[in-house]
Amino acid sequence: MNAEELQQLAAEARDERPQFDYEVNVCMGTGCLSQHSDRVKNALEKEAEISGRKCHVRRTGCMGLCAAGPMVLVEPAETRYGHVHEGDAQEIVASLGGDPVARLDPQLRGYFEGQKHVVLENSGHIDPEKIEEYIARDGYEALVKAVTEMSPGQVIEQIMKSGLRGRGGGGYPTGLKWDTVAKVKGAQKYVICNGDEGDPGAFMDRSVLESDPQRVIEGMAIAAYAIGAAKGYIYVRAEYPLAVQRLTVALQQARRRGLLGSGICETTFNFDIDIRLGAGAFVCGEETALIASIEGKRGTPRPRPPYPAVSGLWGAPTLINNVETFANVAPILRHGGEWFSSMGTARSKGTKVFALTGKIQRTGLVEVPMGMTLRQIIFGIGGGVPDGRKFKAVQTGGPSGGCLPEEHLDLSISYDALISAGSMMGSGGMIVMDDTSCMVSVARFFMEFCMTESCGKCVPCRAGTVQMYELLTRITKGVATHRDLDRLTDLCEVVGATSLCGLGQTAPNPVLSTLRYFRHEYLAHIDEKRCPAGVCEIGTGHPADSAEVTVAGEVHV
Amino acid sequence: MSAEANIRTLTIDEVDVSARADQTILEAAREHNIEIPTLCHLEGLSEVGACRLCLVQVKGARRLLPACVTRVEEGMEVTTHSPRIDRYRTMVLELFFAERNHVCSVCVANGNCELQTLALRLGMTHVEMPYQYPQLPVDASHPRFTVDHNRCVLCTRCVRVCGEIEGANTWGVMGRGAQSLVITDLKEPWGESETCTSCGKCVQVCPTGALFEKSRAGMRAQKHPEFLPYLRIMREGEQQ
């Protein structure tokens, strides 16, 4: 396919739209599907046919507000309905062109105002299994432009200018990474997309893959052109069956349209992508473990350097980026690096998708410009804490991140600000907690996660997380002493400083951040044998409760 | 490239040393009789950087670096011992002791155990962390050897020697985290393994009493991993 053919295809797809007066988009993401949005879609289609109106009912990906699922979006009026049932179909179709169905309009606008959609610009607007709809919204324009008009160096320059940083959590400058891989000599190079999203409460990558898979494929193809790779892999968790299915369809369609394969855009550029399924190990989100897993080996990390940019998949130079990072690439090339860097803060550019979950009114996906405050996201967009309870903390960054208290609510979100506050950006999970959450239990939950997800290769992570988990358990049982707290602090330091990979190095973070901001809760458990949030079942002071755990004696060897 | 260009000069513990560019900090240090503790490292096998005992401070580096896999660089300033590093090493050793059932007084390797020697050398007199006392199996199905998982430190020397030197690939690792175990074939009893050649190299390289020869204990259970570099050189010579 060349530029003219792409434009023609886009025009054809756009011409189809005026045939319909109305478009009714039904979310068919995992969240809404679990609420039977497929039945809603069938009912809407049936009603539209009966009514005889020119109405197109479309399957789309995630619309963001998962708490109000199943979601329906009516265009061109831009009316959003939440909690739609099959029985509502007739009313929705009848209302087309008139006033929205008041009964179904639960004031959803507040959620969408203040958001800025770049990664999610097509989510909820296109059918993820139709490449034509992606192309109609300027899809693949960036790839065709890159391959036919730009040199690889110029592509990298735009990414550098954009200031895009890795969206998987580390925040490494994407342009610099591309430039490094481009400069390393190698006959064979690889592009890998990391879709092994595993943080508890995070579902950004899943939504992007389910709602707009072509965007990720286009980003990977542009990256491949920039660094000189001919082969790519998308590593997705097997727990995301819908994302895998939509990716498979998307890859087939891209190949059929000549946007993947050999001689892309009638040039000498060849690139194709295979899917690899993760078998459920959190550690495989770590790049060297992920590469080992693709190679068919045990998914364990190895020491870096050498970095994958120099020696990655099968020893070849490898570019590995997160789903959301690749999803940002096409818009950057379409609008230019300056456009992207005009959004965000001094050192964190663009937008970021967050998965808002926990004790919050409106659970779902939000995409906001960097620099927005936590308060704006949680209380503005998310609607605050439900049931009149009091906000206590927000956990960001998954098991590698930390819990930030109320006094940090006015923190502007950026990679650096979050790290200096003792948490991190991570992949974008944001778990809100109210005064019914015990912070020691939260720390214990994340430590349990790290303990069970440790690969077992290096001893500080393998054995240190077990020891820390037991100490946290002692605290939640009310049998810990101040010596245990000191030991916990020591272990946090050792495990953080000596572990092999990021999983172990950041495993103490939830403990450290809760110790920093909620030390009084730890002390209440230890000194007063009391859980301030009333979560922990602290023993009644019966000798039998404490006997088994107080013998942390010293064993001579 | 000239021979001189391949030489790097650096300081280790304020001693000026020179090393080939392809050498690690550990190799350079040992050549100059500077001791860095190691457990998973063994001359003649590939490096995994798993035991974290050889972590050293390199000036300018954000984190401590494992000496066994970090290559020397020109002008590097390496510190192998400091109160902080020594404290970390002792705690890492304690983690090793506490995670399985390392009770020296009743162990076949008592007196010949690298873990025990390290504890003595690093001054780890006792373990403050609670022992985990996991209930782990012992496989004595092999006619000559036994594997006792209670004494395994998961250094994977057996896995590496079996794959890299013997070429049998009998040993592997299963499970994850604290549940990891070294296994023969697909967790078949060692005695029923179809790939094991009974060469005994795994036993010789095992740093603890996890792998041992039957009816040999104490002074008679001395291990001889020093054959490895020789074997490796001979094999590489044959291939050329």
The long-range contacts involving A94-98, CB below 8 angstroms and separated by at least 24 positions, are A94/A51, A96/A21, A96/A22, A96/A24, A96/A53, A96/A55, A97/A21, A97/A22
Judged by a CB distance cut-off of 8 A, whether residue A463 touches chain B is yes
Per residue in A214-254, pLDDT tens?
999 999 999 999 999 999 999 999 999 999 999 999 999 99
Q: Do B99 and A453 touch (CB under 8 A)?
A: no
Boundaries of domain holding B13: 4-81
Judged by a CB distance cut-off of 8 A, whether residue A130 touches chain B is no
Inform me whether the pLDDT recorded for B220 exceeds 90. Answer: no
Q: Are B118 and B57 members of one domain?
A: no
Q: Are B50 and B96 members of one domain?
A: no
- Name the domain boundary from B51, B81, B111: B81
Inform me whether the pLDDT recorded for A546 exceeds 50. Answer: no
For testing the chain A interface, which of B24, B95, B118, B171 should be mutated: the one with the most A CBs within 10 Å?
Answer: B95
Chain B CA closest to residue A502 = B63
Of A303, A453, A467, the CB nearest to B49: A303
The ipTM estimated for the assembled molecules is 0.94
Q: Are B95 and B73 members of one domain?
A: no
For testing the chain B interface, which of A310, A452, A462 should be mutated: the one with the most B CBs within 10 Å?
Answer: A462
Rounded CA-CA distance B194/B211 in Å is 19
Of A283, A303, A557, the CB nearest to B127: A557
pLDDT at B230: 87
Q: Give how far B87 is from chain A: nearest CA, Å.
A: 9
Enumerate chain B positions whose Cβ falls within 8 A of a Cβ in A.
47-52, 55, 63-64, 66, 69, 88, 91-92, 95-99, 102-104, 116, 119, 125-132, 153-154, 172-173, 175-180
Question: Domains in chain B: how many in total?
Answer: 2
Per residue in A432-447, pLDDT tens?
999 999 999 999 999 9
Q: Are B135 and B51 members of one domain?
A: no
Inform me whether the pLDDT recorded for A541 exceeds 50. Answer: no
What dihedral do alpha carbons A362, A367, A370, A372 form, nearest 10°?
-30
Over residues A392-412, the mean pLDDT reads 94
Q: Do A557 and B96 touch (CB under 8 A)?
A: no
Q: Which amino acid is at A293?
A: S
Judged by a CB distance cut-off of 8 A, whether residue A451 touches chain B is yes
First CA to last CA distance, chain A: 72
CATH number of the domain to which B95 belongs: 3.30.70.20
For residues B179-218, one letter each, b for 16 or more C-beta atoms within 10 angstroms of the residue's C-beta and e for the rest, the string is ebbbbbbeebebbebeebeeeebbbbbbbbbbbbbeeebe
Q: Are B75 and B96 members of one domain?
A: no
Inform me whether the pLDDT recorded for A551 exceeds 70. Answer: no
Q: Are B145 and B217 members of one domain?
A: yes
Q: Do A498 and B55 touch (CB under 8 A)?
A: yes
pLDDT at A543: 42
Per residue in A126-183, pLDDT tens?
999 999 999 999 999 999 999 999 999 999 999 999 999 999 888 999 999 999 999 9
Per residue in A277-294, pLDDT tens?
999 899 999 999 999 999
Domains in chain A, CATH or no CATH each: 3-110 (3.40.30.10), 131-340 (3.40.50.11540), 346-434 (3.10.20.600), 439-547 (1.20.1440.230)
Q: Are B112 and B223 members of one domain?
A: yes
Which positions in chain B touch A494 (Cβ < 8 Å)?
88, 91-92
Which positions in chain B touch A458 (Cβ < 8 Å)?
49-52
Q: Are B74 and B106 members of one domain?
A: no
pLDDT at A110: 82
Q: Are B210 and B126 members of one domain?
A: yes
Collect all residues with Cβ–Cβ distance below 8 Å to A393 and sequence separation of at least 6.
Answer: A403, A404, A405, A406, A432, A433, A437, A439, A442, A517, A518
CATH number of the domain to which B71 belongs: 3.10.20.740
| Mean of all residue pLDDT scores within chain B | 93
- Name the domain boundary from B81, B112, B140: B81
Per residue in A76-118, pLDDT tens?
888 899 999 999 999 999 988 888 888 886 667 788 888 999 9
pLDDT at A545: 45
Over residues B141-157, the mean pLDDT reads 97
Cβ atoms of residues A178 and A223 within 8 Å: yes
Which positions in chain B touch A470 (Cβ < 8 Å)?
130
Say what percent of chain A tops pLDDT 70: 96
Inform me whether the pLDDT recorded for B50 exceeds 80. Answer: yes
- Name the domain boundary from B81, B110, B126: B81
Residue A509: C-alpha distances to residues A429, A458, B216 (Å): 15, 18, 46
Q: Are B198 and B98 members of one domain?
A: yes
Question: Do the strands A429-434 and A351-358 form a parallel or antiparallel pair, or are they unpaired?
Answer: parallel
Cβ atoms of residues A485 and A378 within 8 Å: no
Q: Do B154 and A465 touch (CB under 8 A)?
A: no
Q: Do A458 and B97 touch (CB under 8 A)?
A: no
Q: Are B47 and B159 members of one domain?
A: no
Q: Are B101 and B217 members of one domain?
A: yes
